[in-house]
Amino acid sequence: METSIHNVIIMGSGCAGHTAALYTARANLSPLVIEGHEPGGQLSLTTLVENFPGFPEGIQGPELIENMRKQATRFGAQYRMGHVSSVDLQKRPFTLNVGKDILQTRTLIIASGASARWLGLPHEQALIGHGVSSCATCDGFFFSGKEIAVIGGGDSAMEEALFLTRFASKVTLIHRRDQFRASKIMLDRAQKNPNIHFLTDTIVEDVLDVEKKEVTALRLRNMKTGKGSDLPASAMFLGIGHIPNAKIFEGQLDMDQDGYVISRDYVLTRVPGVYACGDVQDRRYRQAVTAAGSGCMAAIEVEKFLEEQGR
Ligand code: NAP
């Protein structure tokens, strides 16, 4: 166990975590950021971000997140690789297990975000890294000149499909309904792209071929006709949303039926001194700018809390 007690530990290094780090660092609280399983969060897996204010031409997601990190570091935020495997929020200081270390902190900001959702197909997990992926920017390049399928009907799926047309000979976007959640601008762009073909009212029942250790086809079923078919494809990219990274708080914090941390007054959890911000507690907006905003709120709450505690 480390003997020193931190003022504030921030779990997660996406938009919310970096912003909380920036604000708590500028408040002289020497924040420690535990980077988590996916350093940089969802922005580090995306391409051009066009809706973060202040960048009229847009900015690449990884560049934006790197800038945030540099900015927080400039004011003294410390970053540490690894993830929090368990926490004890029963008494203060709170205790966190990170790798072999036990850390103690007076306050905790949960900014652990959300991770890609999988379909749960019989052979999906076995083919991850062999053609099944949730990250077009990471893996798209490997499928140059090949036929690719993208699953989902939201902005993520549109974005992935558009990005993958840079590499693929053909992209088939498969969606379980014929109505789309995607914003009009993203849907229009995808629909206007001649290399993207839409298959609606269609679900994926399995991905083939686990014996060959590569994706060769998707087994599909049309929801309206009930008809099954196989679509040849070399890769399947998922864009079907995310699951909050909050499992370790089960039983210690209030959570909804989908595992999102429930907060009141934006970022307050039921445990004084513990705050939640970004996608781990936001099922409604889930934007980079709203995550950054709630990271700022959590940091200000930490400052107030420590002041009230006489620190
Ligand atoms: P989302 O909006 O929740 O969309 C998820 C999609 O996946 C839905 O179409 C859903 O179908 C489908 N889906 C979910 N589970 C499925 C399953 N088991 N089988 C088949 N399909 C399934 O998630 P998102 O696209 O990741 O977007 C999340 C948030 O980030 C949104 O607020 C979005 O605006 C934002 N975002 C913005 C941008 C951008 O502006 N450039 C890019 C990416 C994300 P149903 O519609 O039938 O439920």
Nearest CA to ligand 1 atom 26: 241
User: Of these residues, 88, 138, 178, 230, which one is catalytic?
Assistant: 138
Distance from residue 242's CA to the centre of ligand 1 (Å) = 8
Best mutation site among 156, 185, 280 for ligand 1 pocket (most ligand atoms within 8 Å of CB): 156
Distance from residue 208's CA to the centre of ligand 1 (Å) = 24
Residues 6+ apart with CB under 8 A from 195: 165, 168, 169, 170, 171
**Torsion angle of the four alpha carbons 306, 308, 310, 311, in this order, in degrees rounded to the nearest 10:** 10
pLDDT tens for the 311 residues of the chain, in order: 667 899 999 999 999 999 999 999 999 999 999 999 999 998 987 778 888 999 999 999 999 999 999 999 999 999 999 999 999 999 999 999 999 999 999 999 999 999 989 999 999 999 998 999 998 987 899 999 999 999 999 999 999 999 999 999 999 999 999 999 999 999 999 999 999 999 999 999 999 999 999 999 999 999 999 999 999 999 999 999 899 999 999 999 999 999 999 999 999 999 999 999 999 999 888 889 999 999 999 999 999 999 999 87
- How many residues would you count in the chain? 311
Task: Spell out which residues line ligand 1, taking CB within 6 angstroms.
Answer: 51, 119, 151-157, 159, 176-177, 181, 183, 239-241, 286
Local structure of residue 140 (DSSP, 8 states)? G
Nearest CA to ligand 1 atom 4: 154
Closest CA to 279 of 240, 244, 238: 244
Closest CA to 186 of 51, 11, 14: 51
Closest CA to 295 of 22, 76, 1: 22
135 noted as active-site residue: yes
Buried b (16+ CB within 10 A) or exposed e, 153-172: bbbbbbbbbbbbbebbebbb
What local confidence, expressed as pLDDT, does residue 137 receive?
83
Best mutation site among 240, 242, 282, 283 for ligand 1 pocket (most ligand atoms within 8 Å of CB): 240
Q: Is domain 5-115+242-308 annotated with CATH 3.90.1260.10?
A: no
Residue 154 corresponds to which amino acid?
G
Q: Which atom of ligand 1 is nearest to the CA of 51?
A: 40
Asked if the domains at 5-115+242-308 and 118-238 fall in one CATH topology, the answer is: yes
Distance from residue 180's CA to the centre of ligand 1 (Å) = 9
What local confidence, expressed as pLDDT, does residue 284 receive?
84
Bridge partners of residue 171, in order along the sequence: 148, 196
Q: Which atom of ligand 1 is nearest to the CA of 152?
A: 7
Q: Which atom of ligand 1 is nearest to the CA of 159?
A: 42
Output the CA angle 310-251-246, nearest 5 degrees.
Answer: 80
282 noted as active-site residue: no
Q: Which atom of ligand 1 is nearest to the CA of 203?
A: 20
Distance from residue 117's CA to the centre of ligand 1 (Å) = 10
230 noted as active-site residue: no
**In terms of CATH, what superfamily is 118-238?**
FAD/NAD(P)-binding domain (3.50.50.60)
| Single pTM value for the model | 0.81
Rg over alpha carbons for the chain, rounded to the nearest Å, is: 21
Task: Please report which helix (H) or strand (E) contains residue 27, including its range.
Answer: none
What local confidence, expressed as pLDDT, does residue 1 receive?
64
Domain boundary assignment for the chain? 5-115+242-308, 118-238
